[in-house]
Structure 1
Amino acid sequence: MLRNKFKPYPTIDDILEACEDSLEYAPSLDTLEKDIRNMKQADVLDAPIEYCRKNKGYWYTNPNYSINSIPLTEEDITTIKEALDLIKNIGGKRVNERFSEAIQKILATYSEEFPDGNSQRKIIQTDYVEGAKGYENFNKLYEACKNQNPISFAHYSYNSREFKAIIVHPILLKEFENRWYLIGYSETHNSIRTFGLDRIYEPVLLKRKYIESNSNEVESYCNDIYGVYPLENQPKQTIRFLTSIKITNYFEAYPIHATQKGEKNESGSSFFTIEVVPSIELIRLFRSYGRNLEVIHPNWLREQTKTLL
Structure 2
Amino acid sequence: MPINRNALIRYKTIDNCLRNKYRSWTLDDLIDACSEALYEFEGIDKGVSRRTVQMDIQLMRSNKLGYNAPIVIKDKKYYAYSDAEYSITNIPLTDQDLGTLSEVVQILKQFKGFSHFEEIGGMVNRLEDKIYTSKTHSVSVIDFEKNDRLTGLHYLDTLYQAIIKKQVLNLTYQSFKAAEPQVYVFHPYLLKEYRNRWFILGVANRVKVHLTLALDRIKDISVNADFAYRENTLFNPSTFFENVIGVTKNAGQRPEYILFWIDKKNAPYVITKPIHNSQRIIKEDNMGIVFQICVVINFELERELLDFGDFIEVIRPRGLRKRIEKRLKTAGAYYEESKVLEIDDEIVEVYSPNPKDAGV
Given the two structures, how large is their TM-score scaled by the length of structure 1? Answer: 0.60
| Contact 2:190 2:237 (C-alpha < 8 Å) held by counterparts | no
Q: Kindly state the Cα deviation for residue 201 of structure 1 after the two structures are TM-superposed.
A: 1.5
Q: Tell me which amino acid in the other structure corresponds to 1:283.
A: E
Q: Which residue in the other structure is 2:144 paired with?
A: 126
Q: Which residue of 1 aligns with 2:154?
A: 136
Q: Which residue of 2 aligns with 1:260?
A: 279
After the TM superposition, which parts of structure 1 deviate over 6 Å for at least 4 consecutive aligned residues?
none
Choose from 228, 246, 249 the match for 1:209: 228
1:169 maps to what in 2? 187
Could you say if the C-alpha distance between residues 85 and 119 of structure 1 is closer, same or farther in structure 2, counting changes exceeding 3 Å?
A: farther
The residue aligned with 1:86 is 126
- Give me the whole-angstrom Cα distance separating, in 2, the residues matched to 1:192 and 1:78: 35
Q: Which residue of 2 aligns with 1:285?
A: 304
Contact kept? 1:237, 1:277, Cα under 8 Å: yes
Q: Name the residue aligned to 1:185.
A: 203
Give the TM-score, by structure 2 length: 0.52
8 Å CA contact retained: 1:234, 1:278: no
Q: 1:238 to 1:219 in 2, by over 3 A?
A: farther
- Percent identity over paired residues: 25
Matches of 1:151 and 1:159 in 2, distance apart?
23
Q: How large is the Cα RMSD of the aligned pairs?
A: 3.3
For 1:251, the equivalent position in structure 2 comes to: 270
Match of 2:243 in 1: 224
**Which one has a larger percent strand, Structure 1 or Structure 2?**
1
- Whole-Å Cα distance in 2 between the matches of residues 257 and 158 of structure 1? 28
Contact 2:173/2:220 (8 A) holds in 1? no
Amino acid at match of 1:86: R
1:276 maps to which of 285, 295, 305: 295
Q: Structure 1 residues 161, 253: closer, same or farther in 2, change over 3 A?
A: farther
The corresponding residue for 1:154 is: 172
Look up the equivalent residue of 1:273 and give its one-letter code.
Q
1 or 2 for the larger relative contact order (CA 8 Å, sep ≥6)? 1
Match of 1:4 in 2: none
CA distance in 1, matches of 2:244, 2:269: 19
Distance in 2, matches of 1:248 and 1:268, equals: 10
Query: How far apart in 1 are the matches of 2:108 and 2:322?
Result: 53
The CA deviation string for residues 48-86 of structure 1, in whole angstroms up to 9 with x for no partner, is: xxxxxxxxxxxxxxxxxxxxxxxx9xx959959x97652
Q: Structure 2 unaligned runs (5+)? A: 1-101, 111-121, 330-360
Q: CA deviation at 1:261?
A: 1.3
Report the counterpart of residue 84 of structure 2 in structure 1: none
Q: Unmatched 5+ residue regions in structure 1?
A: 1-71, 92-106
Give the letter aligned to residue 296 of structure 1.
I
State the 1:275 CA deviation. Answer: 1.6
Higher-Rg structure is: 1
Q: How far off its partner does 1:168 sit?
A: 2.2
